[in-house]
Amino acid sequence: MSWTEERIEKLTKMWEGGATASQIAEELGGVSRNAVIGKAHRLGLKARPSPVKAAERSEDEAPAPKPARAAAPPPPPAEPAPAPASQAAAPSAAPTPPPAPRAAPVAPPPPAAPVQAAAPAAPSDAPPAPPAPRIVSVGPGGFLRQGPGEQQAPIPPAPPRRLVPAKPSPEIADKTSLLDLNDRICRWPMGHPGEPDFHFCGDKVNPGFPYCVEHCGRAYQAQLPRGHRRPPPPLPFGNPRVR
């Protein structure tokens, strides 16, 4: 297998989207996890939380390491999302760490567009979820925090993977692509990276945040007291593991 333009593109998108090297390798097929990592490095797109390098730190750095990941800003999909540290930390209840998926990989936010983009073969999985998220509090900029796990349909079951590889860009033409991202538009991912209709929200952001007001409400959820939390939403990228 050679690194064709398409394969490189897919690798790049998935890598930046937070997929693990294994997932990417599996997705691409014909290459090993190592090959993916090697290629990613050669492409110059490393810089991702590595279990090894994460702990690697000179002795001088007074770290205060613990809150590092926990207090980190919510699920940044791609590219470093500016942390709303200043404003966010001020109010009594700081924006809570988003549903931390697992430990190691920094998983992007639960994509799951509320509105299914044209999903032709999509059978109506009629999510019973009624649109009445319990508002817990109001965040800076006016976005409404919801209770954890109380977003509308928590996660529309990673929509059936579409097996349409070649589909240049008929319907995605006016959608917000990775290349269209800038500081002013919402970078909330819609759909799954690598799929033909994957795109980003594209609305105007809630000033000071990487997402629009609506998605801020999803990204920054109010923290509930321990004890009655809901299980974290599943990871993006559909069904990574196939064992």
Partner DNA sequence: CCCTGATTCGC
Partner DNA sequence: GCGAATCAGG
Interface residue list for DNA (CB under 7 A): 1-3, 20-23, 31-35, 37-42, 46-56, 103-105
Is the distance from CB of 19 to CB of 106 less than 8 angstroms? no
Is the distance from CB of 212 to CB of 230 less than 8 angstroms? no
Nearest distance, CB of residue 227 and DNA, angstroms: 24
Nearest distance, CB of residue 181 and DNA, angstroms: 22
What is the sign, positive or negative, of the torsion defined by CA atoms of 173, 178, 183, 186?
A: positive
- Say whether 144 sits in a helix, a strand or coil: strand
Q: Pick between residue 28 and residue 136 the one whose CB is nearest to DNA.
A: 28
Strand residues in 49-154 grouped as ranges (E): 135-138, 144-146
Is the distance from CB of 54 to CB of 72 less than 8 angstroms? no
Q: Pick between residue 5 and residue 174 the one whose CB is nearest to DNA.
A: 5
Q: Which residues sit opposite 135 in a β-bridge?
A: 146
Identify which of 106, 125, 132, 121 has the alpha carbon closest to the alpha carbon of residue 51.
106
Nearest distance, CB of residue 239 and DNA, angstroms: 13
Q: Pick between residue 58 and residue 86 the one whose CB is nearest to DNA.
A: 58
- Say whether 190 sits in a helix, a strand or coil: strand
Nearest distance, CB of residue 21 and DNA, angstroms: 3
Nearest distance, CB of residue 234 and DNA, angstroms: 15
Q: Pick between residue 42 and residue 167 the one whose CB is nearest to DNA.
A: 42
